[in-house]
Amino acid sequence: MTTYKSLKSLCESLSMSFYEIPELSDQELNIIPEEASIHGLPTGFPHTEEAKVLIREARARQVFSEETRKRMSESQKGRKHAAETIVKMIEAGKRRIQKPCSEETRKKMSEVRKGKPKSEQMRERLSAATKGKPKPESVKEKLRQYTGEKSSGFGSSWYNDGVKNIKIAKGQEVPDGLIRGRINNWRKV
């Protein structure tokens, strides 16, 4: 087995540096991998597709302790990607095709989100994101279907008794003690 020292002495006898040695694999050089990695020489060999699948599956089953996960997290904090890496990541994201969710999955996601109050900051961001943007033609068409006489509130008016609001349809008699208009009793979350 060729060791680092014997390879070094061979290079010195030929008046060559390590980097002038022709490209040979570790198997051809028969170098001990541990020694090679210590001295900065290329190590390892390309894995077969079968081996890559096995490695991927083994890593998927790995479970790390909370302490290990914290250490891993701390080691990555403050690390920045290079500009070209960010560009590559953006391009890869554009090529990724997301499969449409099944109806069942969409219902589950909807149920999870229902009833969750949105923070003031979140509402401001949603508002800012939609302000000034023209509505798509499909949305405008849906809104047109429910205007005028087709609207559920067409011809009706709001009345209140000082405590609660009551909607009265056109043509119905307004009970005594009601004032036209609506009380704004919405509470901000």
Q: Domain ends where: 29, 47, 64?
A: 64
| Structure-token pair, residue 132 | 């000034």
Domain presence at residue 123: no
- State the average pLDDT for the chain: 79
111-165 pLDDT tens trace: 998 888 888 999 999 899 988 888 888 888 888 888 887 787 888 888 988 888 8
pLDDT of residue 10 exceeding 70, the answer is no
Domain presence at residue 142: no
Here the contacts of 115-120 (C-beta below 8 Å, separation 24 or greater) are 117/189, 118/189
| Structure-token pair, residue 166 | 């009551």
How far apart, in whole angstroms, are the C-alpha atoms of residue 137 and residue 16?
73
What is the pLDDT at residue 189? Answer: 41
Domain that holds residue 51: 1-64
Domain presence at residue 94: no
Q: Domain ends where: 10, 29, 64?
A: 64
Domain count, the chain: 2
Domain presence at residue 109: no
Q: Domain ends where: 64, 96, 115?
A: 64
Domain presence at residue 78: no
